[in-house]
Structure 1
Amino acid sequence: MISNRKPKTCRCCKERFTPSKPLQVACGIACAVVLAKSKSDKQRKALAQVERAEIKVRKEKLKGRGEYVKEAQQAFNEFIRWRDRTAGHNCISSGRALDWAGNAVDAGHYRSIGSAPHLRFDERNCHAQSKQDNRYLSGNAVDYRIGLIARIGLEAVEALEADQSPRKYTIDDLKAITAHYRALVRELKRAAA
């Protein structure tokens, strides 16, 4: 019997062959097995990617407001550290040089988050501070105020101390704050590189 099918190129080994069936894409069984395995690997990877996306969506639905606050605070604090690092600032309270190589720098708030939660994302209220001053000296508030006056001025410090206006952050607000400060950190890192 004479085959009137046109020769094809094998998708696996790229050899020319005359197919015995109309939809045949491989020259033989060995190449067909290789193609089937690569196809199943691609399908498995695509399925895993879809599953990861679904898990991410489910985790997002389970998050509470507190987790969004935590993410926004982390993004904000990282921005504060990068802002002061690129500006070459010393510790706001002690005036000593900060060790940027290690993990010895906090984003210290002048008015603490516990006493003034409405100022947690106020850039005037937060500056790079050594962990020693922030954690072990309870923020070193007296010296912090002196350093803050030198950095932003007495009028701005008094306005910060007088600010008692409540702010309620919605989950959408917190997502926007997180995205905003992460973008600023990326810009600062790019500029520093």
Structure 2
Amino acid sequence: MLVATKERKKKTCDNPACGASFVPQRLGQAVCNYTCGLAIKDVNQAKARKSLAQVERREIKIRKEKLKSRGEHMREAQQAFNEYIRARDQAAGHPCISSGKPLDWSGNAVDAGHYRSVGSAPHLRFDERNCHAQSKQDNRFLSGNAVDYRIGLIARIGQEAVDALEADQSVRKYTVEQIKGIKAYYRAKTRELKRAAA
């Protein structure tokens, strides 16, 4: 008595470089020959190494984040805030707040200048009314050009808002978590502005 043997179906080799049709000789065979098996193994090992490297980089980033001081977090938040101010004023087409001259956005010639400086009024460092796009010339070499800044500020936000800024003597202490939140908030706002401009 003859037993009918089940005819095996042809499969396509899992090696993307090969793709040949073959009849599997054993259960679970995914490649047509030994060479294709080695090629797949090499690809899988490379993927595993890449994945491991990504995990290690992520872990290093987390460890570095934990080691950052409050001052480093504050600097990063200030950078994110300043970048937002420059993007906001560029999108609005504002000239330099103090000189009234058009700003050169092509290079690195624009600062986010504070009306009341971060040194004298640290509680206003993240106040959007207190910070506007300003030429590096006015901000750095003319000490902020405060008299002309005030005139430009009154024209932009109004006398009442300027008086409120000048009168604000409140004290604000930020926790590290609040600083991280400020950084994330302004980075998101900057991305949103850049997307809208594109």
TM-score, normalised to structure 2, is: 0.90
Residue 122 (structure 2) aligns with: 117
Which residue, 175, 178, 196 being the options, matches 1:191? 196
Contact map agreement 1:76 1:181 (CA 8 A) in 2 = yes
SS in 2 for 1:55: helix
| CA distance in 1 between partners of 2:70 and 2:164 (Å) | 29
Structure 2 CA distance for partners of 1:111 and 1:52, relative to 1, 3 Å = same
Q: Is 1:58–2:58 an aligned residue pair?
A: no
Contact map agreement 1:7 1:16 (CA 8 A) in 2 = no
Structure 2 CA distance for partners of 1:7 and 1:14, relative to 1, 3 Å = farther
SS in 1 for 2:129: coil
Name segments (4+ residues, structure 1) moved above 4 Å: none
| CA distance in 2 between partners of 1:18 and 1:128 (Å) | 70
Which residue, 8, 13, 19 being the options, matches 1:14? 19
* Cα offset, 1:4, TM superposition: 6.7
Which residue, 65, 86, 93 being the options, matches 2:91? 86
Q: CA RMSD in A?
A: 1.7
TM-score, normalised to structure 1, is: 0.92
Contact map agreement 1:19 1:27 (CA 8 A) in 2 = yes
Q: Which runs of 5+ in 2 are unaligned?
A: none
| CA distance in 2 between partners of 1:149 and 1:16 (Å) | 77
Q: Which amino acid aligns with 1:90?
A: P
SS in 1 for 2:54: helix
* Cα offset, 1:8, TM superposition: 4.8
Residue 67 (structure 1) aligns with: 72
Residue 150 (structure 1) aligns with: 155
| CA distance in 2 between partners of 1:181 and 1:36 (Å) | 45
Residue 161 (structure 1) aligns with: 166
Contact map agreement 1:5 1:18 (CA 8 A) in 2 = no
Identity %: 68
1:130-184 Cα deviation digits (max 9, x unpaired): 1000000000111111111111111211111111100011111111111111111
1:58-107 Cα deviation digits (max 9, x unpaired): 11111111111111111110111111111111111111111111211100
Q: Which amino acid aligns with 2:59?
A: E
Q: Which runs of 5+ in 1 are unaligned?
A: none
Structure 2 CA distance for partners of 1:98 and 1:16, relative to 1, 3 Å = closer
SS in 1 for 2:133: strand
